[in-house]
Amino acid sequence: MKVASVQIDTVLGDMEKNIEKICEFVEMCVEQGVGVSVFPELSLTGYYLQDITPEIAVTPDDERLAPLKKLSHYIGIIVGCIEESDSHVLYNSAFYIEGGVVKHIHRKVYLPTYGMFDEGRFVGSGGKFDRFVSNGFSSTILICEDCWHFSSVYIPFLKGVKLIFAQSASPGRGYKNSGMFGNTRVWKNMGEFYSRLTGSYFIYSNRVGVEDGLVFSGNSFICDPYGNVVAEGSVFDEEIITVDIEESVIRSARMNLPLLRDEKPYILEKGLKKFLEGN
């Protein structure tokens, strides 16, 4: 099965244009034989929404998603959006669309509220990291800041996920002579570590372009289960990065480094219980 990490620029607050662009890239993915495609964080809406956040929110049955649902009969699609729940709480969410329906929703758990970020003012936080099946592979989705917390990977790791899809809208910081932003190196370090630690493919999609003075750093990439960056995108261009997912590579990585087999979650359970009880 082939996966694609797609990095695109988006128009702030213009869902119609963003969906149109995403559909164009999805069609190209279909032509390339891709089974699952992942787009950046908030790819339907743009990132720096602030006061227009409520205006751009969608639900899983929103009619505006119809073009994506139609294409999802040929390919799995992961997009980012502002989701409005039945209780009218807004979330920074990822929708996995397959077979004409939204089959899985991940709500961003960890909201950055430091430096240039202030997400907690505008959206609520999710409360779990789930496993779902994408094109036959056990998978999970993380959204940007989620990746900076061990808990985001640990539960999916215990559940044996084989594909970790990570969405991001990471502004570039510290442009280097090597032709990449400093934060890109950090993201690659993270992807290399998580893929190696879990014996999974790590598929990272970051956006490009400029929005309200922020320059997004691109350099989307895919790591294999041995922690190798096997494909990566450029800094500034919209593009599709693809890799063939090989079950045999997952199998050999987990047999050579049997961390999942040897993990002891009950030790963590005991330690957390004592910590929460103040001991």
Domain range annotation of the chain: 2-276
Using 50, 70 and 90 to split pLDDT, how confident is the model at 179?
A: low
Residue range 2-276 forms a domain whose CATH class is alpha beta
- Give the residue carrying structure tokens 């936080």: 125
Q: Are 189 and 223 in contact (CB under 8 A)?
A: no
Q: Residue range 146-173: average pLDDT?
A: 92
Contacts of 217 (CB under 8 A, 6+ apart): 170, 171, 172, 173, 180, 181, 183, 184, 206, 208, 235
This prediction has a pTM of 0.95
Which tens digits make up the pLDDT trace of 235-267? 889 999 999 999 999 999 999 999 999 999 999
What ranges make up the beta strands (E) of the chain? 2-7, 34-38, 76-84, 90-98, 101-107, 132-134, 137-143, 163-168, 201-206, 208-211, 214-217, 221-223, 229-232, 239-244
Amino acid code (one letter) for 176: K
The confidence score (pLDDT) of residue 207 equals 95
Q: What are 207's two structure tokens?
A: 């956006």
CA distance 219 to 185: 9
CA distance 154 to 160: 10
